[in-house]
Chain A
Amino acid sequence: MANSPILIREQRYHQIKALLARLRLDASARLVVLVDKDGQQIAVHGELGELDTTSLASLAAGNVAATGGMAKLIGEREFPTLSHEGERESIHISVIGRVLLLVVFDDRSSLGLVKLRSKQVSQELAQAFAEVERDSQASSADGSLPFGEITDEEIDSLFSQP
């Protein structure tokens, strides 16, 4: 267990993207990001602009990890949702198993609406991600990972590029 890479097949990725797109529309959100609890961005949908979503994903995971640590200190398992309200832009994060659903919204929406819509989509996202984990386990088990045959030369070539 837990020794296989997480592997996202195209079909699954598009399924997840479609769920994010629906959430973004239903919640009138600016942007929706699905992040792994370890800080890896899985998928994103919405008005990206110049926004650095890689950093956003990493910081969201750090944020959830820190508040989760606080939860444990006071005898809670975790805080399932977090929200940060700014003057114009706000963020809502829900913890769904091992993934985080992050919604960025402005005054076109409201915290209540974002909370409601996030909750509604969370079960489908949890199912989709459970499928991702099953795919990953299966691919590792049957040796169909794309890097099973990777050579030392290929690895070295990464470092010889200037």
Chain B
Amino acid sequence: MLRTQPTKASMTFINYASREINCKIVYYGPGLCGKTTNLQHIYDSTAAQSKGKLISLATETDRTLFFDFMPLELGTVRGFKTRFHLYTVPGQVFYEASRKLILKGVDGVVFVADSQEERMDANIESLYDLEENLRSYGYELTKLPYVLQLNKRDLPNVVPPADLTAELQRKGEPVVEAIASNGVGVFDTLKAVAKQVLTELRKS
């Protein structure tokens, strides 16, 4: 099969007139792993002047239907405001088509894994789905800024971090243990991916 040459996905926007850099980060992972909870925590703990609205396209039962979105301003580098556009995808398997659309033009990805034993298969399936969807755009996960978050560490039936890492880590990416529902690890995750995105700009 003929495949397009994999490229690095950087679609960062640099605007000299408004002195802004805009980057897109996508939170990916299986249904109910806590992607929206990550965004909600970032939203709740950020000063009003640094953030825009948190848009949630969700079902009546608060499951993500299409995506959540929030713009976040981190600060200034070399006179340019750095703005990160944070997106989540819908995790449920049957939203495959929508999930793929959100990945277009992504600069960095966070994979939110659900640490519970019974969700291991769902994590693996979702990670394969991520790699496949990236490839369809000509991106390679191994070349993208990427962080693995092990979420829900507070629950009783969780897989040890070393086992989860052995199963889910793809390229030596940073692994962050988290309890997104009370904010543990949420900013560490964001920081880890944002740093890689900015470091990527140096290389491009």
Contact = CB atoms under 8 A, between A and B. Distances in A.
Contacts of B16: 7-10, 13
Nearest to B198: A155
B52 A52 contact: yes
B78 A146 contact: yes
Contacts of A13: 15-18
B10 interface: yes
B124 to A, nearest CB: 26
Given A55-B69, A62-B66, A146-B14, A4 B204 contact: yes
A150 B198 contact: yes
B13 A158 contact: no
B101 A65 contact: yes
A65 to B, nearest CB: 4
Interface in B1-59: 7-18, 21-22, 24, 52-53, 55, 57
A109 interface: no
B142 to A, nearest CB: 14
B114 to A, nearest CB: 25
A146 to B, nearest CB: 6
Interface residues of A, number: 42
B202 A147 contact: yes
Contact of A6 (B11, B67, B80): B11
Contacts of A62: 57, 66-67, 101-102
B78 A39 contact: no
Contact of A69 (B87, B101, B198, B204): B101
A2 interface: yes
User: For chain A, what secondary structure do more than half of its interface residues adopt (helix, strand, loop), or is it mixed?
Assistant: mixed
Contacts of A14: 17
Interface in A109-162: 140, 145-150, 152, 154-159, 161
Interface string B96-119: 011001101100000000000000
Contacts of A42: 13, 15
Given A38-B104, A62-B101, A55 B74 contact: no
Nearest to B202: A150
A1 B7 CA distance: 7
B138 interface: yes
Interface of A: 1-10, 13-14, 36-40, 42, 52, 54-55, 58-59, 62, 65-66, 69, 140, 145-150, 152, 154-159, 161
Interface of B: 7-18, 21-22, 24, 52-53, 55, 57, 66-67, 69, 71, 74-75, 77-78, 80, 82, 85, 87, 97-98, 101-102, 104-105, 138, 191, 194-195, 198-199, 201-202, 204
26 contacts: A1-B7, A2-B138, A3-B7, A3-B8, A4-B204, A5-B12, A6-B12, A7-B14, A7-B16, A8-B13, A36-B11, A37-B104, A38-B11, A38-B24, A40-B11, A40-B13, A40-B85, A42-B15, A54-B52, A145-B14, A146-B78, A147-B198, A150-B78, A150-B202, A155-B195, A157-B77
